[in-house]
C-alpha cells in the first residue's frame, strides 16, 4: 500500500485506500529510489509505504511530521537521525535502514539506549567509491579542472612547460583507513605507481589484506610526512573528525595530492583554505565537503588546484540500485521482526 506525500493531489486517494490497511506496518521512505528498487519496495504487500518524492533531501519539519507513528524508516545520509527524530517517530519504531555504508548522520547512542537496530549498505558501493577516488587522484595529479577551463576560455596552448602535472610512477601512496574502500583504492592505484612505488596506510588495527597489497602500516605522522598522494578513506567519528587540520597540512610534502572521498568533516575546511592560500599542498580532490551542497561562492572553489565533485562516490545506477535493495531488505526485515541482513553493530562498534 502506498502513500505518497510529495504528490499532494494524490494524497487523499492514497490516504483513503490505506484505511483498509491500517494494521500493516508503516514504512517511511525519505527519497525516491532508483526505478527497479522503487518498484521493489512498492510491491511489498505487507507494508504501508509513505514516501517523500521531491528531489533532494526531505525538509526536517516534514521528516519529523511523516515519521510520526511509523514502524520503519528507510533514510539517506542527508537525514539526521537523532533523539528528536526518534522521539517524533515514537514507540512503534522497530528499525532504521540507511541507504549508505557510513552512519555518522546517526546518533548511535540513542539506538543503543532504545534497542533499535540500524541497517546500512556495506560492500556494494566499494568499487564505485574506489573508482571515484582514483579519478580524483588522477584529476588532481594531471590538473584536469584547470585543463577544462583553459579549453573553455580559449587559453589552450602547447608548450613544453604548460599545464604540467605530476607522474604517479614511483610515488608513495598513503591510505587513511584501509577498510573496504581504502583497500580497493590501493589495489587500483598499485599499477600506477609501479614496482618502485610504495603504499603505506594508517588505521587503528593491522589489516590482513595489507600484505597482498604490499602496504605497510605506519603512524599517522609518518603517513602525512612521507606520502606523495594521500587518500582519506576512513569513517568519520570522534577520533577522525577534523584530523586533517592546519598543523597536519604544514607537515605534508609541498606538492602532495590530497583526496577525500570519505566525509567532509574529516578535514577542517577553513584550515584547508588557509593552507592553500599560503601555497601549501600540490592539489586536492574532494567528493565530500562541508557543508553539502557547497555554496558556489565558497572560498574552497576559488583555488584552481582544488577539484570538487558533488558527493557522487557511489553514484552509478548499478551501485545505487544495489544499495537501495539492501536498504529495502533491512527495513522490511526490521518491520517483520526478523534479523537485519546488514546491521550496524550498534552495541559494540561506535565507528
Among 25, 34, 119, 179, binds ligand NAP (CB under 6 A): 179
CB of 337 to ligand NAP, least distance (A): 27
CB of 52 to ligand NAP, least distance (A): 21
CA atoms within 13 A on the CB side of 298: 17
Would residue 342 show up in a list of annotated catalytic residues for this protein?
no
> Which has the closest alpha carbon to 130: 2, 232, 18?
232
Question: Taking CB under 6 A as the rule, does residue 311 contact ligand NAP?
Answer: yes
Question: Taking CB under 6 A as the rule, does residue 237 contact ligand NAP?
Answer: yes
Distance, in Å, from the CA atom of 227 to the CA atom of 255, rounded to the nearest integer, reads 10
Dihedrals phi, psi of 4, to nearest 5 degrees: -115, 110
Positions in 239-278 near ligand NAP (CB under 6 A):
239-240, 261-263
Per the listing, cell 574552497 goes with: 300
Q: Which residues pair with 98 in a beta bridge?
A: 75
Would you say 84 or 127 has its CB closer to ligand NAP? 127
Is the Cβ–Cβ distance between 324 and 99 less than 8 Å? Answer: yes
Distance, in Å, from the CA atom of 327 to the CA atom of 187, rounded to the nearest integer, reads 27
Question: Taking CB under 6 A as the rule, does residue 116 contact ligand NAP?
Answer: no
Alpha helices in the chain (DSSP H): 8-17, 35-42, 60-67, 83-89, 108-114, 126-141, 144-152, 180-193, 209-213, 220-226, 246-251, 269-277, 317-335
Among 94, 120, 143, 180, binds ligand NAP (CB under 6 A): 180
Would you say 4 or 240 has its CB closer to ligand NAP? 240
DSSP annotation of 253: -
Would you say 4 or 98 has its CB closer to ligand NAP? 98
Question: Taking CB under 6 A as the rule, does residue 316 contact ligand NAP?
Answer: no
Question: Taking CB under 6 A as the rule, does residue 129 contact ligand NAP?
Answer: yes
Question: Taking CB under 6 A as the rule, does residue 234 contact ligand NAP?
Answer: yes
Distance, in Å, from the CA atom of 344 to the CA atom of 105, rounded to the nearest integer, reads 13
Q: Which stretch binds ligand NAP (CB under 6 A): 4-12, 56-64, 175-183, 339-347?
A: 175-183
CB of 176 to ligand NAP, least distance (A): 6
Range 187-199 burial, b when 16+ CB lie within 10 A, else e:
bbbbebbeeebbb
Q: Using CA atoms of 126, 132, 134, 138 in order, give the dihedral in degrees to the nearest 10.
A: 180
Distance, in Å, from the CA atom of 310 to the CA atom of 255, rounded to the nearest integer, reads 24
Say which of 105, 120, 311, 342 is annotated catalytic. 311
Question: Taking CB under 6 A as the rule, does residue 73 contact ligand NAP?
Answer: no
Among 256, 287, 322, 328, binds ligand NAP (CB under 6 A): 287
Question: Taking CB under 6 A as the rule, does residue 290 contact ligand NAP?
Answer: no
Question: Taking CB under 6 A as the rule, does residue 288 contact ligand NAP?
Answer: yes
- By annotation, the residues acting in catalysis are 311
Binding residues vs ligand NAP (CB under 6 A): 101-102, 122, 125-126, 129, 177-182, 203-205, 233-237, 239-240, 261-263, 287-288, 311, 313-314, 351
Amino acid at each position: 500500500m502506498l502513500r505518497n506525500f510529495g504528490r499532494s493531489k494524490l494524497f487523499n486517494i492514497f490516504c483513503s485506500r490505506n484505511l483498509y490497511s491500517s494494521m500493516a506496518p508503516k514504512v517511511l521512505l525519505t527519497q525516491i529510489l532508483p526505478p527497479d528498487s522503487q518498484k521493489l519496495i512498492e510491491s511489498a504487500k505487507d507494508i504501508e509505504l509513505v514516501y517523500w518524492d521531491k528531489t533532494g533531501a526531505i525538509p526536517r519539519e516534514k521528516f519529523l511530521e511523516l515519521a510520526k507513528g511509523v514502524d520503519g524508516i528507510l533514510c539517506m545520509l542527508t537525514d539526521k537521525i537523532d533523539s528528536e527524530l526518534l522521539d517524533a517517530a515514537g514507540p512503534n519504531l522497530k528499525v532504521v535502514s540507511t541507504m549508505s555504508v557510513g552512519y555518522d548522520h546517526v546518533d548511535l547512542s540513542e539506538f543503543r539506549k532504545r534497542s533499535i537496530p540500524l541497517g546500512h549498505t556495506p560492500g556494494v558501493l566499494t568499487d564505485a567509491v574506489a573508482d571515484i577516488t582514483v579519478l580524483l587522484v588522477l584529476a588532481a595529479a594531471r590538473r584536469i579542472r584547470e585543463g577544462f577551463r583553459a579549453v573553455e576560455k580559449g587559453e589552450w596552448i602547447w608548450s613544453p612547460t604548460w599545464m604540467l602535472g605530476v607522474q604517479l610512477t614511483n610515488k608513495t601512496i598513503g591510505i587513511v583507513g584501509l577498510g573496504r574502500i581504502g583497500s580497493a583504492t590501493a589495489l587500483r592505484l598499485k599499477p600506477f605507481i609501479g614496482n618502485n612505488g610504495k603504499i603505506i596506510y594508517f588505521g587503528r588495527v593491522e589489516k590482513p589484506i595489507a600484505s597482498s597489497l604490499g602496504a605497510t602500516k605506519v603512524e599517522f605522522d609518518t603517513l602525512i610526512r612521507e606520502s606523495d598522494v594521500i587518500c582519506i578513506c576512513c569513517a568519520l567519528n570522534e577520533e577522525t573528525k577534523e584530523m586533517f587540520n592546519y598543523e597536519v597540512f604544514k607537515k605534508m610534502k609541498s606538492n602532495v595530492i590530497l583526496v577525500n572521498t570519505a566525509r567532509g568533516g574529516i578535514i577542517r575546511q577553513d584550515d584547508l583554505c588557509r593552507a592553500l592560500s599560503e601555497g601549501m599542498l600540490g592539489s586536492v580532490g574532494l567528493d565530500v565537503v562541508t557543508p553539502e551542497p557547497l555554496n558556489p561562492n565558497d572560498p574552497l572553489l576559488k583555488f584552481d588546484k582544488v577539484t570538487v565533485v558533488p558527493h557522487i562516490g557511489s553514484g552509478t545506477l548499478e551501485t545505487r540500485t544495489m544499495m537501495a535493495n539492501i536498504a529495502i531488505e533491512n527495513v522490511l526485515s526490521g518491520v517483520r521482526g526478523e534479523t537485519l541482513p546488514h546491521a550496524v553493530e550498534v552495541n559494540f562498534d561506535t565507528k
